[in-house]
Each structure stands twice: as C-alpha cells, then as structure tokens.
Amino acid sequence: MKPSYFVAFACLLGFAPVSRLLAQSPTQPPPATDAAATPTPSAAPTDPSTKAVPSAGWSNGFFLQSPDKAYQLRITGQIQSDLRAYGDHNDQKDIDTFLVRRARLGIEATVFDYFEFRLLPDFGQGQSRIQDSYLNIHYVDWFQIQAGKFKEPVSYEELIQDRFVPTLERSLIDQIVPARDVGVMIHGKKLFDDAFDYAVGIFNGGTNGDTDTNNGFDGAGRIVARPFNSDAFPETLHGLQIGISGTFGREKETTVPSPFRTPGNVPWLQFNALVVTYGTRTRWTPEVSYFFRSFGCAAQFLRLDQEMRPSLASTDIVQVPMEGTYFLATFLLTGEERTTYSQAVRPLRPFHPAHPLLTPGAWELVGRVSHLRVDDRIFDADKTQLANPDNFSARATEMTLGFNWYLNDWVRVQFNWERSWFGQRINLGASGGSKVLMNSQDAILTRLQVIF
C-alpha cells in the first residue's frame, strides 16, 4: 500500500479511539436523569458492595459480554459434510467421494462499543487457511471503515455467507468474481430509511488470496437500492432490491481459476500452463433480488474483460472477454418467510423425531440455471493460443434442482441434482490415458450442515 494510504488510514483509526476516550473522561460526569433526580419511594437502596458481573450464555452461538455490553465475544462454528456422486462413470476425472467441505471455528468481538473484529480459520478439505481477519470501525451504520482480509464488495451471490447459500455451491459465474482479499473499505448501510447501501474499497487484487503479485491495487465498489421499501408502497414491492458492483485494476498473476469447474466440480476449461493474466482487468455485474413471504429469487449478469499473454516472456496481448449469468429461485413449503438470502431460515415448527408430522422443520425447494462463456479467441490456432480446443470448451451451462430441510435454526440437510452441458465435447479421461469426450455430466450433491 502506498504511503499516502497509510497516513490517511492511520488518521482515521487514531481519531476514533481518542474521541471514545474523551467521551469517557471522568471530568465530564453524565447529567442526572429525571429518574436519578427524583427517585421513586419504592426504589430499593443500592448495595455499594454489589458489582455488576459479566454474562455468558447462548444466543445463536456462545457469547461473553461485559455488564454494559461494551465488550462482547462470540464464538461461531460451521461444519459441512458432503457427498458428491456422478451419473456417467465414463468420467475418469471426477470420482464419487465424501468430503468435509468446510470446518470453521471463528471469533467475533466488539470492544469499546464501536470496534468490531472477526477471525475465521477454515480447516475443511484437509487444509488450513484464514478466511476472514479484519477490523471494522462502526460508530454509525451509514459510515464504517473496515481493514484486513474479507470479501470484496462485489457480486450479490458471493456476498451471501457460505452457511446460508440455498444451493450447495454457487453458480458458474462465481469463480470469476473476487472473493476474499486484503485491503481497506468504506461502507454504509440502511441509508435513507433502509433504502440504500454502499461500499468502496482498495484491495491487493487477488481473486482469493493473501498476498499481492504486483505494485498496483484494485478498486472495487457496490451500490444497492431498495426503492419501494416503505409503507408508501404495496407490501408486494418491499422486497425488491437492485444493485451494481464492479472492479478495476492491472494484474500480473497466474490464471485464476485453473481449471474452470461446474458447481459440481467437473473441470471444463483450463488455460495452457504458461498463460498469465497480464494487464488491465475490469468487471461489472448488475444484480436484482426479490422476496415476498415464502418466495425468493435473485439474478445477476457478469461481464469480465482481461488482458492475457501466452507466457510471461511473450509480448503478445490477448483481450479475453467473459460473460455469464444466473437465475435462482426458492420457495419455503412450510410457511416460513425470507427477507434475504443472507440469514438463517428459522423453522416455525423445529423438527422432533417423536412428532415428525406435527414438527417437520422447514422444507424449501430450490432451482437455479447459470451460464458462463469465455470468448472463442482463446482457441485461435496461432502463437496466441491460450487453451487446447481438443480437450476443453469455452462455454458451460448448468441447471440445479434442490431440496433443503432445516431441522432447526442450526442444522440443515441439502440435496442437489445438477445437470451440466458444454459448448463442445470436453476430455474427462484420466491424465496420461486415452481421451473420454463428453457433452454433459450429472452430479448428485448432498450436505449435512451444523452452524452456530
């Protein structure tokens, strides 16, 4: 980060605690309230030896807090145990398997009322990695400052917490939007009577990384509006939200993703080994979501333009555009209501095995279609060729149908059937073996999730 950014950010961080300490100065005692000036006769005398004690317990997770709630500590957890099975066993790249998709134990805390931090490590899939590690200064909802590693403010779908996504995996377009990166962001929410949110930040520029690969930074931003979220409009319009987000920057890194995969993990495109992303990269993605009672839906379009080179030593620049979209819809059969996808579903009648018909939990139907297209110029048969057309496709489409069973606030079982099609036949044979060319593949995905 350039020195000017450090100075500005340090000033912002320094001002907040100083103002907090001034507010707590013992030379400025708080004014007496009416109740204090005129105590009621029935008020019991205060025992000076009695001290307020911290409290601990369970409220959507384990917590500790000071008596005045200025200091709070919350422990969060998430375990996702999955099964992946494939319909066509001619596919030799994808095997039926059990896996621990995510295993997270996190800490969220508030100190001095206004300083929030989050630490979230993940031990899923046999690896350990820090997902979130950030500080957020939160004096008011409409202006907050966040720094560290966290999700860039891009893509409605990506910003849904992993524990709440209605499908097991996000859509095809999610793999080309940024996820978590290191940077600093200014953001606000609930402006104009909860009708507007915004976020703008500067980041290293990695698609999902911990380190930088060049001297430049990426800019990212998002604005969201809920134009009918007031009593002046019919209730059916309150749940409409529209927005747009995007990024811009100059990159010098290996290609990400590598390879491109379907949500069910089938690889359908991979750039040649020496190809690098080198030059300007821009993304823009409009979004819309809508919720009314038990129904919810979301849709998004994504356009990415990036400059690539056949190798780091090459001077040939290939402008590679990518476009994709998805549509997602859900419906709760058991009467619960959604107002967003970024929250847990709370069953009206949590499941109890002694009365499965009277207490079924919450049942939800899910459907999604997504499509992603990379420009065919990546297959040009000359020195600028970026991928092998004999093994891969530049386009993929998937359809997912699913059922979610929420036993209670913390336990969810998911079932997804995914059908994937490719623009041309792809090679799903074993590495070094004979080719197995396929136009499509089916996958059955299931998950047992526990969160707190």
Q: Where are the alpha helices (DSSP H) in 58-186?
A: 156-159
Q: Two tokens at 266?
A: 């089938």
Give the number of other Cβ atoms within 10 Å of residue 333's Cβ. 12
Ranges under pLDDT 70 in the chain: 1-51
Question: What is the rounded distance in angstroms from the CA atom of residue 192 to the CA atom of residue 386?
Answer: 48
Note whether 232 and 186 are within 8 A (CB).
Answer: no
Q: How many CA atoms lie within 13 A of 260 on its CB side?
A: 28
Q: Two tokens at 163?
A: 């524990």
What whole-number percentage of the chain has pLDDT above 70? 88
Q: Which one, of 345, 299, 290, lies nearest residue 166 by Cα? A: 345
Q: Which one, of 272, 233, 280, 241, lies nearest residue 254 by Cα? A: 272
pTM: 0.85
Phi, psi (rounded to 5 degrees) for 340: -165, 160
Question: What is the rounded distance in angstroms from the CA atom of residue 315 to the CA atom of residue 423?
Answer: 30
Q: What is the DSSP letter of 387?
A: B
Contacts of 23 (CB under 8 A, 6+ apart): none
Give pLDDT, residue 50: 54
- Residue linked to tokens 């909860």: 194
Give pLDDT, residue 210: 73
Give the number of other Cβ atoms within 10 Å of residue 151's Cβ. 22
Domain ranges of the chain: 58-451
Note whether 400 and 368 are within 8 A (CB).
Answer: yes
Q: Two tokens at 320?
A: 């590679």
Q: What is the pLDDT of residues 185-244, one digit of tens each?
A: 999 999 999 999 999 999 998 777 777 778 889 999 999 999 999 999 999 999 999 999
Note whether 285 and 245 are within 8 A (CB).
Answer: yes
What whole-number percentage of the chain has pLDDT above 90? 79
Q: What is the pLDDT of residues 91-106, one digit of tens each?
A: 999 999 999 999 999 9
Give the number of other Cβ atoms within 10 Å of residue 398's Cβ. 26
β-pair type (295-309, 276-292): antiparallel
Give pLDDT, residue 51: 64
Question: What is the rounded distance in angstroms from the CA atom of residue 115 to the CA atom of residue 138?
Answer: 6
Q: Which one, of 410, 445, 446, lies nearest residue 77 by Cα? A: 410
Q: How many CA atoms lie within 13 A of 4 on its CB side?
A: 1
Question: What is the rounded distance in angstroms from the CA atom of residue 336 to the CA atom of residue 330?
Answer: 12
Q: Two tokens at 239?
A: 């749940």
Superfamily of domain 58-451: Porin (2.40.160.10)
Buried b (16+ CB within 10 A) or exposed e, 165-187: bbbbbbbbbbbbbbbbbbbbbbb
